[in-house]
Amino acid sequence: MAPDGNGGIWTQLKVAGIADQMNERGIKYIHVFSIDNALVRPADPVFIGYCIGENADVGNKVLWKVNASEKVGVTAEINGKPCIVEYSDMDKELCEKVDDTGKLVFGAGNICNHFFTLDFVVEKILPNLGNMFHIARKKIPALDDDTGETVKPESNNGMKLESFIFDVFPLAKRMAILDVVREEEFAPVKNAPGSPTDSPDTACVMMSNLAKKQMQHAGFELTGDVDSTECGISPLTTYAGEDLEDLDGVTGEEDWGRNIFNLFCGSPKKTVLCPFQL
């Protein structure tokens, strides 16, 4: 869908006239995030407010790497300019470097969750689109002239020009970085169902665990099959766990206009039976 890399979004903003439309509608800020994160918070007021308060051109949400070998790019500076350095471009020594407390120096993992001001996009990004491509070595299927069949190579056999959304970071004069909690904001879906990591199954577990955590934070005691992975809270009910206290006394039979299923917190109050779907 994006053969030139996800940085192709910037070209389309210009070609399709979307940047002009945003300006006409009075839009000042843009929140860009990857679609494969089941726990992403669109238009996160905390993140956007933080970036605005820091007067930042660009903002980046990060998660600290769980270990030095985690395969994720990191937020860093090169020659005083912010950037993302891919893990494949870092040697073992840099990846494992720690500070006096034992914390990874290059540990601010990039999760493709960014803030941009429209002024920065229009004044800095769009005029510099031609300077943001880099060479990416890929396994590119090719035609076998002898057999007429498509060959899928096992190693890199070609090069293509790509750009990434974060390639524009060095153009920023001021960047804000927000370190967030992995269990609350990052459930990637990159692998097939049944895979042990980053799959629809693991994302469902993380969403369920967050729902239970939010109910407990709101003062509810979880009963029943607490270990069930079938618990969930609709974004129509709460954005990030707020206002769940209002559920006190509501039963599964009562329609209060918010898509509630299997919720029991009437006897005793402040108790919810798992599994639940709100």
pLDDT tens for each residue of 208-244:
999 999 999 988 888 888 887 788 888 888 999 998 8
Say yes or no to pLDDT of 250 above 60.
no
The tens digit of pLDDT for each residue in 132-143 reads: 777 777 888 888
Tokens of 106: 């290059």
The chain-wide mean pLDDT, for the chain, equals 86
Beta strands in 163-270 (DSSP E): 175-179, 221-224
264, 224 in Cβ contact below 8 A? Answer: no
CA dihedral sign of residues 118, 122, 123, 129: positive
pLDDT of residue 108: 96
Say yes or no to pLDDT of 194 above 80.
yes
- Beta strands 150-151 and 108-117 are unpaired
Question: Which residue would you say has higher pLDDT here, 213 or 252?
Answer: 213
